[in-house]
Amino acid sequence: MVEWGRRAGRSPFFREDLMSETASHAETRGVSFLHPIVEREDLFLPESITEDDRLMLDTAREFMEREVLPRAAELEADKLRVSRELLRRAGELGLLGVEVPEEYGGLGLGFRVGMLLLEEIAREGSYACVQGAHTGIGMLPIVFFGTDEQRRRYLPRLVKGELASAFALTEPDAGSDALSIRCKAVLSPDGTHYVVNGEKQWITNAGFADIFVLSAKVDGEHFTTFILERDTPGVTLGREEDKMGIRGSSTRSLILQDVRIPVANRIGEVGRGHKVALNNLNIGRMKLGFGVLGGCRALLNAALGFAAGRKQFGRPIAEFGMIRKKFAEMAIQTFAAESMCYVAAGLIDERVHAVRARPDHTSAEVLGAIEEFAVETASIKVFASEALDYVVDEALQVHGGYGYMKECPVEKAYRDARIHRVFEGTNEINRLVVAGTLLRRVLTGRLDLGPRATEAEASLETGVLDHAAPAGTGIGPELERLERLKRAGVYVLMKVGQVFADRLREEQEVLEGLADVVMDLEACDAALRRVLWVEGTPGDRGVDLYQDLGRGVLATFGPRVERNLVELLSYTWPAMEPASADRLARHLFRVRSFLEAPPVNRYALRRRIAERLSARGRYLEH
């Protein structure tokens, strides 16, 4: 539940909220980060996990260190056999059934623990894909949308790792445009099964999967999801793809020729399969985000360790300013992505869990609960994968020539990282999802930003932020700056919506700019919530480092928001008021003045962060 004023002296700044204290978790809403920060005690954060979560993390860590990482080369050489062996072992340890209800052999724990485990699993890029695809996009459609009979038939063995699963959506001519698939299913005359023909491409786990969650169109029109067993006659696999990275994961195409799938293996209704597929991707995106976090943390720690031992000019390179700056920037990126993933996953889990906890819930309600957070899941995917690319690039740079050599794990991590900006929807598609979903919700009235926009316009007009910085926190200026950025962001969002409502399809770069604003605001919001949580919670976590990381996030992403807003306004304005260049200049001046923030000493800030990281020898731990 929401709890207010855990510390004396907090101003009403925190009390304005979109969720009343009595709001049930079933009504936890998406896109809450555009509103003023709400302080909550039960935030999901790396710092707030339970002791049991920690034990489970230990199990995942030991599994990785003792059984997966030592076999990384073997996994690449003999992926089909080793993948199966590792999945089976993960199944024994219970790593594969976290979200699966207990009656089907799982632990029935909700998303949070599953996400945490992924961070550990992600330390080996290929295996992360093997287990991620199996437990995520391969298994969850059955968990969430399968019939009781389908669940009984498949889940217990999937949870044990006796069966492996894959998700087959992409086709040669249907990549980003996933709804244009051609794979066709036709009901047999006797109504007992579908006859399916088509070709699927780039299917993770295809080489050893026993079941495929398959998307096809009934009669070539109605998007529908099926469970396809590998042994069914007419199923053939293509050769293994020769990939740049994640070379220990199996990626193949799937050719279906008159394949007969029993009607009982249809998931959900005919014509509703796109909902299953797309929401499956929503969850997949969140999982990808968490997977990426584990990579960021491992790479930052590797860079810290290497730089402490590598001497040049008679000193460890960790002592040099430009290396230290890299540590700080990598930590800021990681902290931002991490905060964003955790805060959003906590909210999603809350809502989905509340729905699933009701015995009479329908799969449509589960879909609705997941869909509510489509903006968050897409933005997590984009933001985290780009943070990883930043971190892996700098980690390699810190390693210098060693980082370019095959024997250095960073070389492999560099190649493995790149796919994350491409799969689970390219980052371009996900940016369209972020901005498009948001604008659609505003334009249809589903998301009421009206009062927020009025407030934003008023404060832009007067330049006054009618909220005092709260007392008792070390990040008052950042909180104020974020609130200013949010208001300007909402203002621009509404303007863009008004002007381009009927031709958004032709304004992709505008949507991209808007998506960047939204993602950066979400990251800043989550990072500051996290700092507030740490400040307000007893315990000796070293609050200084958290405050500096929060400041660093604002100092890094705040200017980016500002630049994008100015660009968006400069483009949008002429459409609102043609031939008024000087009025635009005055308007932009007002917006810029409103966003004017006290200068931040970034050199000193980065040095403080880097010094603390070097002293600890590693990034923050759970």
Partner 1 sequence: MDSVVCVKRVPDTETKVQVGPDGRRIQASGVNHVLNPYDEYAVEACLQAREKAGSGEVTVLSLGPAEAAQTIRQALAMGADRGVLLKTDPACDYYMDPLSVAHALAARLKTMRLDLLWFGKLAIDDQSYAVGPAVATLLGLPCVTEVAEFAALPGRATATRVVEGDRVRMEVDLPAVFCASKGLNEPRFASLKGIMSAKKKPLETVDLAQGTARVEVVALELPPARQAGRWIGKGVEAVPELVRRLREEAKVL
3 touches partner 1 (CB under 8 A) = no
According to DSSP, the residues that pair with 217 across neighbouring strands are 184, 223
Name the minimum Å distance from CB 276 to partner 1: 27
> According to CB under 8 A, which one of 541, 587, 590, 602 is a site residue for partner 1?
541
Return the amino acid letter for 113. V
Which residue's CB is nearer to partner 1, number 21 or number 621?
Answer: 621
Stretch that binds partner 1, among 94-102, 139-147, 420-428, 442-450 (CB under 8 A): 94-102
Name the minimum Å distance from CB 341 to partner 1: 21
62 touches partner 1 (CB under 8 A) = yes
149 touches partner 1 (CB under 8 A) = no
According to DSSP, the residues that pair with 267 across neighbouring strands are 225
Which residue's CB is nearer to partner 1, number 50 or number 570?
Answer: 50
Q: Going along 71-112, which residue ranges are E strands?
A: none
Name the minimum Å distance from CB 51 to partner 1: 5
Name the minimum Å distance from CB 437 to partner 1: 34
Q: What phi, psi does 261 have (nearest 5°)? A: -110, 125
52 touches partner 1 (CB under 8 A) = yes
Name the minimum Å distance from CB 100 to partner 1: 11
540 touches partner 1 (CB under 8 A) = yes
546 touches partner 1 (CB under 8 A) = no
442 touches partner 1 (CB under 8 A) = no
- How much is the CA Rg of the chain, to the nearest whole Å? 25
Which residues does 321 contact at the CB level (< 8 Å), separation at least 6? 607
Distance, CA of 356 to CA of 477 (rounded, Å): 40
Name the minimum Å distance from CB 241 to partner 1: 33
Stretch that binds partner 1, among 259-267, 428-436, 536-544, 598-606 (CB under 8 A): 536-544
Q: For partner 1, what does the binding mask look like between residues 601 and 620, x meaning CB under 8 A?
A: --------------xxx---
Structure tokens belonging to residue 131: 């287990």
Residue 297 has, within 13 A of its CA and on its CB side, a CA count of 25
Distance, CA of 542 to CA of 69 (rounded, Å): 31
Which residue's CB is nearer to partner 1, number 172 or number 617?
Answer: 617
51 touches partner 1 (CB under 8 A) = yes
70 touches partner 1 (CB under 8 A) = no
Distance, CA of 151 to CA of 142 (rounded, Å): 6
> According to CB under 8 A, which one of 19, 95, 281, 388 is a site residue for partner 1?
95
Stretch that binds partner 1, among 53-61, 248-256, 396-404, 595-603 (CB under 8 A): 53-61
Q: Each residue of 269-304: b (16+ CB within 10 Å) or e?
A: ebebbbbbbbbbbbbbbbbbbbbbbbbbbbbbbbbb
Which residue's CB is nearer to partner 1, number 172 or number 542?
Answer: 542
Name the minimum Å distance from CB 156 to partner 1: 13
Stretch that binds partner 1, among 13-21, 56-64, 247-255, 416-424 (CB under 8 A): 56-64
**Any idea what the Cα angle at residue 46 is, between residues 41 and 47, rounded to 5°?**
55
Kindly state the DSSP code that residue 361 receives in the 8-state scheme. -
> According to CB under 8 A, which one of 3, 21, 41, 58 is a site residue for partner 1?
58
Are the C-beta atoms of 290 and 113 separated by less than 8 Å? no
Binding to partner 1 (CB under 8 A) within 404-423 occurs at: none
Which residue's CB is nearer to partner 1, number 38 or number 95?
Answer: 95
Which residue's CB is nearer to partner 1, number 57 or number 485?
Answer: 57
Distance, CA of 158 to CA of 486 (rounded, Å): 44
Compute how many other C-beta atoms are within 10 angstroms of the C-beta atom of residue 209.
Answer: 28
Catalytic-residue membership of 461: no
Name the minimum Å distance from CB 55 to partner 1: 5
537 touches partner 1 (CB under 8 A) = no
63 touches partner 1 (CB under 8 A) = yes
305 touches partner 1 (CB under 8 A) = no
Distance, CA of 605 to CA of 174 (rounded, Å): 47
Q: Among residues 424, 480, 483, 522, which one is catalytic? A: 424
103 touches partner 1 (CB under 8 A) = no
Name the minimum Å distance from CB 46 to partner 1: 13
88 touches partner 1 (CB under 8 A) = no
The owner of tokens 């230290």 is: 324
Which residue's CB is nearer to partner 1, number 93 or number 235?
Answer: 93
Name the minimum Å distance from CB 54 to partner 1: 8
94 touches partner 1 (CB under 8 A) = yes
Which residue's CB is nearer to partner 1, number 360 or number 540?
Answer: 540
Name the minimum Å distance from CB 542 to partner 1: 6
> According to CB under 8 A, which one of 31, 87, 98, 216 is a site residue for partner 1?
98
Distance, CA of 120 to CA of 62 (rounded, Å): 9
Are the C-beta atoms of 319 and 313 separated by less than 8 Å? no
Return the amino acid letter for 327. F
Backbone angle region of 339, left / alpha / beta, with phi > 0 → left and psi within -120 to 50 → alpha: alpha
Which residues does 126 contact at the CB level (< 8 Å), separation at least 6? 72, 75, 76, 79, 246, 247, 248, 249, 416
Which residue's CB is nearer to partner 1, number 97 or number 513?
Answer: 97
Are the C-beta atoms of 260 and 247 separated by less than 8 Å? no
Distance, CA of 422 to CA of 426 (rounded, Å): 4
Q: What phi, psi does 315 have (nearest 5°)? A: -135, 150
Which residues does 100 contact at the CB level (< 8 Å), separation at least 6? 106, 107, 108, 139, 143, 155, 158, 159
Number of residues that bind partner 1 (CB under 8 A): 23
Distance, CA of 352 to CA of 370 (rounded, Å): 7
Q: Which residues contact partner 1 by CB under 8 A?
A: 51-52, 55-56, 58-59, 62-63, 66, 92-95, 97-98, 107, 540-542, 615-617, 621
Query: Catalytic positions, please?
Result: 424
